[in-house]
């Protein structure tokens, strides 16, 4: 669907005590909302266990597949049952995003969990971080977030969460996968089947935790009465983020609010997909534009001039703000911007890098007692809320930074170290990745070769990173340098390897 300027749409204005809310209509199929919530299973990738099903991706980011072509009800139920067995029939929280396939997958997940004797707590259509938080708050043995995050509408996935509200680690994920593949599932008899119940307060609990952060001066934010445009991409954010913004006293203009799961654009919140948001910011003279992905763990920002600042700078803003209040260790992944290193150096703090994947960052944050961490795709992790990427927490920190500084978002961005990053994708079916990466290693002139995750070649003030995606059948290539010209030159120097 082509992006349209918001002045060609109809708007409805509702006024509340603290803010005005403008709902910017968008075209698309609106499905009836379903209040029940769904569960999903299987998260971890496995180096020792492989899945035979075609069109399934089993990785640190979950078990993902195209619905009806790899991800079927049988597959979903099998992995949900394996997770229920792994959880020994304990209490399991389930939540899902708004995808069209969500209710089908939810039912298959519930069936698998009930069959293994689990007590299922269904929290409805919520963000993935809300599900993680609910696992901990409700003292559950685990949880399943049913979402394919930024993947296209025909995908869905099961993300498995452990007792601490964290995604399963490598070893835990392998245990669940092995139970599924070996069909070593402990189904219960009729008199020991599980039961399902529903919990309606998970979103408000999440909001309350954010507003109670020691870093936030909510009254100060309310006094600024920020005009905010939020693009919810018809995902789970539509029933969460506008409410959070209203409670912080913002005037809220909402794009793509209804959580019906028919995404109006590519759901990944990167600059090229934010034209509608940029136009709305300009038209309505907003202070800031915000975009989230369907499960609300990634945040992208558009400045008051309608310019996307780049998802890497979401984390950079959050890190700069937190370190100014509470210096300490920072943990990021191998593909995150050098800007974080520069910011940490300014405050005399140490940066630790990990493999890509939220659980890898979370685990290292625990180990290093980090004060903040995350991934450069717009994923902010603040331990005081939970050890998971959370767009809502990122929004609160950025608005606090704005209100405290008195600056505009474009001005704040300019106070940070300036780098240019280029991200490209290569279809894995078209190349022999392992062979090419070995050639690159053999023939490079980099200052350092980092094999933490894939191959990363590090130069003075620049780097290029090649790695297989955890979420799509592609090779990701990311390059960063001080200028666009330098980044393009470095990227082009490796183009011949892939021809």
Catalytic residues: 149
- What Å distances lie between residue 256 and 3, 37, 55, 286, 398, CA to CA? 12, 21, 30, 17, 22
For 232-365, strand residue ranges (E) read 251-255, 288-292, 299-302, 330-333, 351-354
Q: Which residues pair with 421 in a beta bridge?
A: 480
Handedness of CA 101, 104, 108, 110 (dihedral sign): positive
CA angle 483, 271, 323 (to 5 degrees): 70
Handedness of CA 129, 131, 136, 138 (dihedral sign): positive
- The Cα 121–Cα 113 span in angstroms is 11
Question: What is the Cα 298 distance to its own chain's centre?
Answer: 4
- The Cα 423–Cα 491 span in angstroms is 10
- What Å distances lie between residue 363 and 30, 111, 323, 471, CA to CA? 39, 31, 20, 20
Nearest partner of 131 among 172, 82, 92, judged by Cα: 92
Look at the block and give the residue holding tokens 């709902």. Answer: 23
3-class secondary-structure state, position 404: helix
């Amino acid at each position: 669907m082509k992006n349209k300027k918001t002045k060609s749409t109809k708007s409805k204005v509702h006024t509340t005590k603290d803010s005005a809310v403008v709902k910017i209509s968008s075209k698309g199929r609106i499905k009836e909302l379903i209040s029940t919530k769904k569960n999903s299973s299987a998260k971890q990738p496995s180096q020792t266990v492989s899945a035979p099903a075609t069109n399934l991706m089993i990785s640190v980011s979950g078990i993902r597949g195209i619905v009806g072509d790899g991800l079927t009800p049988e597959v979903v139920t099998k992995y949900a049952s394996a997770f229920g067995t792994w959880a020994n029939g304990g209490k399991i929280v389930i939540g899902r995003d708004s995808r069209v396939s969500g209710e089908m997958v939810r039912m298959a997940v519930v069936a698998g969990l009930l069959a293994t004797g689990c007590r299922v707590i269904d929290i409805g259509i919520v963000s993935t971080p809300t599900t993680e938080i609910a696992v901990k708050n409700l003292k559950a043995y685990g949880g399943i977030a049913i979402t394919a995050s930024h993947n296209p509408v025909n995908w869905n996935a099961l993300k498995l969460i452990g007792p601490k509200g964290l995604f399963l680690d490598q070893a835990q994920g392998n245990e669940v996968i092995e139970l599924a593949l070996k069909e070593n599932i402990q189904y219960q008899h009729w008199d020991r089947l599980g039961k399902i119940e529903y919990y309606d307060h998970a979103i408000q609990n999440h909001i309350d935790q954010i507003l109670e952060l020691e870093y936030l001066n909510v009254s100060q934010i309310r006094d600024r009465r920020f005009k905010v445009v939020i693009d919810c991409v018809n995902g789970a954010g539509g029933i969460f983020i506008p409410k959070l913004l209203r409670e912080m006293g913002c005037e809220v203009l909402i794009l793509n609010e209804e959580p019906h799961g028919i995404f109006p654009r590519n759901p990944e919140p990167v600059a090229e997909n934010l034209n509608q948001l940029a136009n709305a910011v300009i038209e309505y003279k907003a202070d800031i534009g915000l975009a989230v992905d369907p499960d609300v763990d990634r945040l992208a920002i558009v400045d008051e001039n309608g310019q996307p600042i780049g998802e890497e700078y979401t984390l950079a803003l959050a890190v700069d703000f937190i370190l100014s209040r509470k210096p300490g260790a920072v943990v990021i992944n191998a593909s995150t911007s050098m800007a974080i290193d520069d910011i940490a150096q300014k405050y005399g703090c140490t940066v630790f890098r990990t493999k890509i994947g939220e659980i890898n960052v979370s685990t290292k944050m625990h180990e290093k007692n980090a004060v903040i961490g995350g991934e450069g795709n717009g994923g902010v992790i603040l331990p005081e809320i939970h050890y998971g990427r959370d767009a809502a927490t990122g929004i609160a920190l950025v608005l606090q930074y704005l209100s405290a500084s008195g600056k505009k978002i474009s001005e704040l961005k300019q106070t940070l170290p300036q780098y240019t990053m280029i991200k490209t994708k290569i279809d894995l079916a078209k190349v022999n990745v392992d062979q090419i990466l070995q050639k690159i290693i053999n023939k490079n002139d980099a200052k350092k070769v980092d094999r933490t995750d894939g191959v990363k070649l590090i130069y003075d003030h620049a780097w290029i990173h090649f790695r297989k995606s955890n979420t799509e059948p592609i090779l990701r290539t990311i390059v960063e340098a001080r200028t666009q010209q330098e980044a393009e030159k470095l990227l082009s120097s490796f183009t011949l390897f892939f021809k």
